[in-house]
Structure 1
Amino acid sequence: MVLGFSGSQLFGVGLAVIGMVVLAFSGRYVWRATGIYRAAAVSTLGETTPGTLVRISGTAQQGEADLLSAPFSGRDCLALRYAVEERRLSPVLLPWFVTIHELAGSDTFRLRTSEADIDIVEPAHTVTLERNIVATVPPSDDPPERIERFERGAAAVPVTTYWREPPSLLQPITRLLSIGTRRYSEQRATPGDDLTVVGRVTERRDGVNPLVVSDRPPRQTFLRMTKTSLVGLCIGVFVVVLGLVLVLL
């Protein structure tokens, strides 16, 4: 007994705390996604109050900044999200791709609407665009040269893992299930693409600080952004409820 709690009750408290953390992170992302609907749709900043959450749609144009270079394909882009996934066993022993590294951002660019050119002046918090699989590499193969250079220079991406180099006894099974295979994907926005940006008007009303950069209509963008977070919310609620049941028993 610790502070009047039994072992199962302490375990329940721990579960409840973990569940609330999961709920907080997932809920924050869902709230950001609702900005697609909470934002005012505008085609010019005009007299819009600084700090106002707005949604603008138009054709992407290069601004004063240089274009970004996508790490896997080498293609130039205005906004970018890339990910490295590795095929591993899930908790139910079924293989699936697990994201082991992901990064998103953008540089200054412009959106040409029907009324004005609007500067997007800060890196985006969320980039959700059409996904392109650049390469899929089994553990027995070497990745393309550009990807190999990226992995050598990125401290956050391990060159190899237990899943890519399992004990020799397990290798026939892992090869059969393609365990350790890596998938390299990019989401890119390039000049000329039709984009929707949600963000806040700058203090000087000379641009927008973006929260979301998307190539889909509001409804599709919302569903795409909340798909994973809704799973997190369900898991968080289940863990909190389970923890409370253990505490109250």
Structure 2
Amino acid sequence: MLLTVVGLVFITLGLAIGWYGLRPLAVVPRVLSASVQDPSAVTDDESFAVCYGVVNESGETLSAPFTGVRCLGFEFEVTERQPFGIGIPWLQAHLDDGVATRPFSLDGPRGDLDVVPSPKRFVLDTESTVVTVDASETPPERIQRFIDVRDDLEPVAKWIRIVPGLGTRRYVERRIDPGEEYLVAGPIERRQHEVVLTGDLVITDHTPKRFASARLRRAAFPTMIAVVFITIGVGGIVI
């Protein structure tokens, strides 16, 4: 009876981890199967579009948290090297994350298209800027100001700092930079007599194939963990 309960717990955890890992792949077939259009060619007759163009501001901009670069959207994550986490030693444990975004214009050779990303479902598939700070180092001024205003982001614990190799933090930042070219894909809506791309969008500085490959690589590890958990769970029930 106990093995059955434990097995069901492992299966449930495996399914949850699998859903977390595989969910970002749901949009990949739509991106790969769609034709890349000029932004001006998109109409509300379509439910999903893939466009390529130059991003430009259509209102306010943002200041990226770690670099201070003016941008139209950013995603950040803070991790710390710790001696534990999911049973794996010396893992970069998650400490903090967040996003911010603004509407922008996607400009092509024949016209433009307004893009309004959802702040609730905002993910960037762009190159990362990473600032690494050793536990014994003083963070750069901008990162120190960021730490000071984040209530949940405490300094590296003393017991971690005394162990060589531990306590190193990675401050990861991804941005939408004005004037740069991006592939944007997602649902189409008509707002105030204008067609816009909005909602849960794909925003990447890669080609569709490179975007798909990157998401597949990121999904590999959680999917492997999910398979292991489910296998252990099934084994516990069968025994």
**Alpha carbons of structure 1 residues 139 and 69: separation in structure 2 relative to 1, 3 Å:** same
Letter of the 1:222 partner, please give it. Answer: A
Alignment partner, residue 147 of structure 1: 143
Q: Check whether the contact 1:16–1:244 (CA below 8 A) recurs between aligned residues.
A: yes
Q: Distance in 2 between matches of 1:158 and 1:132?
A: 20
Q: In structure 2, which of residues 77, 80, 91 is the aligned counterpart of residue 83 of structure 1?
A: 77
Deviations 1:180-237 (A, max 9, x none): 0112121222111010011111134521015111001011111222322222122112
SS in 2 for 1:141: coil
Q: Check whether the contact 1:105–1:127 (CA below 8 A) recurs between aligned residues.
A: no
What percentage of aligned pairs have identical amino acids?
Answer: 22
Q: What TM-score do you get using the length of structure 2 for normalisation?
A: 0.87
Alignment partner, residue 208 of structure 1: 197
Alignment partner, residue 64 of structure 2: 70
Alignment partner, residue 128 of structure 1: 125
Deviations 1:83-139 (A, max 9, x none): 21211225343x343332222342101111122201102336211111112x32222
Q: Distance in 2 between matches of 1:40 and 1:68?
A: 31
Unaligned runs of 5+ in 2: none
Q: Distance in 2 between matches of 1:67 and 1:35?
A: 30
| Alignment: residue pair count | 231
Moved over 6 A (4+): none
Q: Distance in 2 between matches of 1:47 and 1:216?
A: 24
Q: Check whether the contact 2:57–2:104 (CA below 8 A) recurs between aligned residues.
A: yes
Alignment partner, residue 168 of structure 2: 181
Letter of the 1:118 partner, please give it. Answer: L
Q: Check whether the contact 1:23–1:232 (CA below 8 A) recurs between aligned residues.
A: yes
Let me know the Cα RMSD of the aligned residues. Answer: 2.1
Q: Check whether the contact 1:68–1:76 (CA below 8 A) recurs between aligned residues.
A: yes
Q: Distance in 1 between matches of 2:49 and 2:26?
A: 15
Q: What TM-score do you get using the length of structure 1 for normalisation?
A: 0.84
